[in-house]
Chain A
Amino acid sequence: KNQVEQSPQSLIILEGKNCTLQCNYTVSPFSNLRWYKQDTGRGPVSLTIMTFSENTKSNGRYTATLDADTKQSSLHITASQLSDSASYICVVSLLTGANNLFFGTGTRLTVIP
């Protein structure tokens, strides 16, 4: 069964600290994996997209890693800011098929001063 699981469900960190969010998937055949940031009441915004051959991609203070062998991805946030408070959603895409997107339920990150 194709699934995407994220952990932790929620996380509270102090401003300026680093954190790492996890995404494990069983989706196969794999096409690409994306991390989205969703502020409350807003639509998701893409942070990174990685294909099978990419094992790391950065977007400012956000760095995503992918291990296609173990089917794991992580999103590392460096020097967190209050504006990083949001939900982070991992989305995995199938190579083929009619319904080819699988969404994690997200990690809710709260950054406190």
Chain B
Amino acid sequence: KAGVTQTPRYLIKTRGQQVTLSCSPISGHRSVSWYQQTPGQGLQFLFEYFSETQRNKGNFPGRFSGRQFSNSRSEMNVSTLELGDSALYLCASSTRRGGYEQYFGPGTRLTVT
């Protein structure tokens, strides 16, 4: 069974631009969660989608948004990029809500210049 895939793996953007990241979960997994990981803050929860609905949301500004499609694939969008948005963005999929038994993708390394 294929693992969680994320595209692109690396991305360089300029401050003020917007970016869309994609995540394809493991087949049969309906929950997709997104995380931001930085050296100083560690892993921080962004949001969780289950059956195309956002179920949980972390403490991030409204510039961070996401959606989930009927095939469980998910996208995350960040508008008006700031230098501080430079991070590794990870998505994780699970058969259940709430982060139980999550499988992580390799991440997208976003650099904002």
Task: Please give the residue numbers on chain A whose beta carbons come within 8 Å of chain B beta carbons, in ascending order.
Answer: 32, 36, 41-46, 49, 89, 91, 93, 98-101, 103-106
Task: List B contacts of A99 (CB < 8 A).
Answer: 45, 56-59
Task: Kindly provide the distance from the CB of A64 to the nearest chain B CB, expressed in whole angstroms.
Answer: 15
**Cβ-closest chain A residue relative to B92:** A43
Tell me whether A46 and B103 are in contact in the complex, defined as CB-CB below 8 angstroms, given that A98-B56, A100-B56, A100-B98 are known contacts: yes
A44 lies within 8 A of B104 (CB): yes
Task: List A contacts of B32 (CB < 8 A).
Answer: none
Most chain-B CB neighbours within 10 Å: which of A89, A93, A98, A106?
Answer: A98
Task: Please give the residue numbers on chain B whose beta carbons come within 8 Å of chain A beta carbons, in ascending order.
Answer: 4, 41-45, 55-59, 90, 92, 98-107, 109
A42 lies within 8 A of B106 (CB): yes
**Cβ-closest chain A residue relative to B33:** A101
A-B contact pairs, 17 of them (CB 8 A): A43-B4, A43-B92, A43-B104, A43-B105, A43-B107, A89-B42, A91-B43, A91-B99, A93-B98, A93-B99, A98-B55, A98-B57, A99-B45, A100-B56, A103-B42, A103-B43, A106-B42
Interface contacts (Cβ under 8 Å), in number, total 51
- Bound Cα distance from A103 to B92, whole angstroms: 14
B43 lies within 8 A of A42 (CB): no
Given contacts A43-B107, A100-B56, 14 further A-B contacts (CB under 8 A): A32-B100, A36-B104, A43-B90, A43-B106, A46-B103, A49-B101, A89-B42, A89-B43, A93-B100, A98-B55, A99-B57, A101-B99, A104-B42, A105-B41
